Amino acid sequence: MKLGFISDTHGGFLDTLEALEVLNDAEKICHLGDVLYHGPRNDLPKTYNPKKLAEQLSQRQDIIYVRGNCDADVDEMVLEHDLSKKSTIVEFDRYKFFLIHGYEETEEERIQKAKELGCHVVVSGHTHIKVLEEKNGMIVLNPGSTTIPKDGSRSCAYYENGEIVLWDLDQQMVIKKMKIL
């Protein structure tokens, strides 16, 4: 069983398709926000085509979304999927994943909330920087950005067989693996 994670696609059509291809055998994909709009702090992505990306994503029923700081009501309308939740819990293969974009609270607050909710993994986006580490008894994952990385390479992540894997889209290789506690 495989669960995929993407974040901060920011309208990058071909970049997002590439990540979805890596995750093509996932039962579900979790999108951690900032789906279509590139935002005023980011340069226009090279593969920017939010209309085409919205058309592609609206056809898929296997993606769970949380709202990011660049997501708007109009994005929800064109995607034809719920983008209203700022956080949610996904239960998958006996584990609970706390999904949140991660711009309104500190990492410590996210970890504390996940613990209160009985989750095993905190998954956030927003920073465009890949993270996979254990912190205060909780696994913390940020899959980075498929489109506008701020740490050198585009990326995504997935869970499979008790392990989380960070995947480098540019090098087509595993960056890091970690077993769930």
Angle between helix axes 50-58 and 13-22 (nearest 10 degrees) is 30
Number of domains in the chain: 1
Average pLDDT, the chain: 96
Q: How far apart are CA 83 and CA 35, in angstroms?
A: 9
The answer to whether residues 79 and 35 touch, using CB atoms and an 8 Å cutoff, is yes
Residue corresponding to tokens 């585009």: 154
- pTM recorded for the entire structure: 0.97
DSSP per position, the chain: -EEEEE---TTBHHHHHHHHHHTTT-SEEEE-S--S---TTSPPPTTB-HHHHHHHHHT-SSEEE---TT--HHHHHHHTS----SEEEEEETTEEEEEE--SSS-HHHHHHHHHHTT-SEEE--SS--EEEEEETTEEEEEE--SSS-SSSS-EEEEEETTEEEEEETTTTEEEEEEE--
DSSP per position, 24-68: TT-SEEEE-S--S---TTSPPPTTB-HHHHHHHHHT-SSEEE---
Boundaries of domain holding 76:
2-179
Question: How high is the pLDDT of residue 40?
Answer: 87
Mean pLDDT, rounded, for 153-163: 97
Does 25 score more than 80 pLDDT? Answer: yes
Mean pLDDT, rounded, for 6-28: 98
CATH code: domain of residue 135: 3.60.21.10
| Residue 14 burial class via C-beta count within 10 angstroms: exposed 0-12, middle 13-18, buried 19 and up | middle
The band of 176, judged by pLDDT with boundaries at 50, 70 and 90, is: very high
Question: How high is the pLDDT of residue 164?
Answer: 98
Q: How far apart are CA 60 and CA 180, in angstroms?
A: 28
Q: How far apart are CA 164 and CA 152, in angstroms?
A: 21
